Structure formats: C-alpha cells, structure tokens
C-alpha cells in the first residue's frame, strides 16, 4: 500500500492529521467500604421501686458512593466512538448540504477536531464538492483509557464518494482498511472526540481482530 493511502481514504471526512502518544490503561478501582462501627448506647429508666440500666448495641455503617467500573467507562467510550464514526459520517450532502453536519459536530467533538471538520465543510461549500457516505466500516482493535483521556484504535474502511455540484463523481476511497486512532476526552461526564488520527501507510485486516 502506498504512503498516505489511508489518508486518501478519509480525505473527504478529515482535513489534516496529528500525532500523539497512546495513554496507559489503568486497571481496577478502590471501592472498598469503610468498616462498620458498633456504638454502645446506655439508657437509664427509673421507677419508684428500682433503677434499671439497659445496654443496647447499635450498629452504624459508613458507606462510600457507588464507584464506576472500568468496563462501564469503556462502554461509554465505545458508544461515543461509534456515534462519531457512524452518525457523523453517514450523509448525502447532495440532498442536505455540507453544513447539515455542524450541529452534530458541535455535539460530538471539540477542538482541534471540531475546527478541522468545519473548515473542511467551508472548503466544500466554496468549491461545490459534496460527500455521500453510508459511514465507515468500523472494527475496534483496542480501547486505551487513562483517567479522562481515551484512545480507540480502529481498523476502518471509508466508503465516502465525492461529487461535484453538478453530480459528477470526483473520487472515492481506495477500498482498503487502514488503522486509525480516535482520541477522546471526558468533559462534563461526556466523551468527546478531540482528534482523529489516520494511520498513514498502516494497512490492516479486520479479520486479525475478530
């Protein structure tokens, strides 16, 4: 596969690439509850005939708030990645126009990815280019999470076709699967895409990860 083949496959979707170090995967969480404490309470009652002392054992438990397991966090990351790779890139700009994707871009991404995609939309509006896609074929290879930062490695195939404003086919993907990375950050309880990084010449086979 020639250098940049994967970039060509995604050229209609993403403008520019960036690099970055993968982050480590933490394992487990400390969700042990504090030990119970037994408090002894003495109460005294009196009658005309006698004084009675009663000892009562009262058990109190100090509990911590429920913790979120790593598997639950991974599920949230995968769900955000799926929306980015499917909902955002499933389009027919010949019908809806390039700018129809902007609300979803605002919902699912932050800078630099947000600005990058909006600049791509502005370019298409200027040159009359329109994208048509059923969304990339996504095959998650690995999910790496470190606190509020996550990376999803994906062996993906992009079926996007590019058309002129007159309806002429200008180009499409090369039909090859390429390794890409989707970088996400957690903000306000939501996982948002910060960066989409193409794999350059890193061709992949989804069958290797099944």
pLDDT of amino acid 85: 93
pTM: 0.68
Does pLDDT of 183 surpass 50?
yes
Residue 173 pLDDT class (50, 70, 90 cuts):
confident
% of the chain exceeding 90 in pLDDT = 56
Distance of alpha carbon 157 from the chain centroid: 18
Residue 174 pLDDT class (50, 70, 90 cuts):
confident
Report the distance separating Cα 141 and Cα 156, nearest Å. Answer: 10
Closest CA to 195 of 84, 78, 91: 84
Mean of all residue pLDDT scores within the chain: 76
HEC letters along 83-144: HHHCCCCEEEHHHHCHHHHHHHHHHHECCCHHHHHHHHHHHHHHHCCEEEEECCECCEEEEE
- Structure-block tokens of residue 144: 């790496």
Domain boundaries, the chain: 9-15+70-209
14-44, pLDDT tens digit by residue?
443 344 333 333 333 344 334 433 333 344 4
Does pLDDT of 91 surpass 60?
yes
pLDDT of amino acid 29: 39
Closest CA to 8 of 193, 155, 183, 200: 200
Which residue has better confidence, 106 or 60?
A: 106
CATH number attached to the domain at 9-15+70-209: 3.10.450.240
Which residue has better confidence, 93 or 47?
A: 93
188-203, pLDDT tens digit by residue?
999 999 999 976 667 8
pLDDT of amino acid 96: 93
117-172, pLDDT tens digit by residue?
999 999 999 999 999 999 899 999 999 999 999 999 999 998 999 999 899 999 99
pLDDT of amino acid 199: 65
Structural Rg of the chain based on CA atoms: 27
């Amino acid at each position: 596969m020639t250098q940049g083949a994967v970039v060509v496959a995604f050229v209609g979707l993403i403008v520019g690439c960036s690099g970055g170090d993968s982050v480590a995967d933490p394992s487990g969480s400390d969700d042990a509850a504090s030990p119970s404490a037994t408090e002894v309470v003495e109460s005294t009652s009196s009658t005309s005939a006698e004084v009675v002392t009663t000892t009562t054992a009262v058990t109190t438990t100090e509990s911590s708030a429920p913790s979120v397991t790593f598997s639950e966090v991974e599920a949230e990351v995968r769900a955000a990645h799926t929306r980015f790779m499917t909902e955002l890139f499933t389009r027919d700009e010949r019908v809806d126009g390039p700018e129809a994707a902007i609300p979803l871009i605002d919902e699912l991404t932050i800078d630099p990815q947000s600005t990058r995609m909006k600049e791509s939309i502005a370019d298409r509006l200027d040159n009359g280019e329109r994208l048509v896609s059923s969304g990339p074929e996504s095959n998650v290879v690995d999910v790496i999470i470190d606190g509020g930062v996550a990376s999803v490695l994906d062996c993906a195939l992009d079926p996007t076709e590019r058309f002129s404003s007159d309806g002429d086919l200008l180009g499409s993907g090369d039909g090859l699967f390429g390794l890409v990375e989707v970088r996400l950050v957690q903000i306000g309880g939501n996982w948002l895409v910060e960066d989409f990084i193409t794999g350059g010449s890193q061709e992949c086979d989804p069958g290797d990860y099944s």
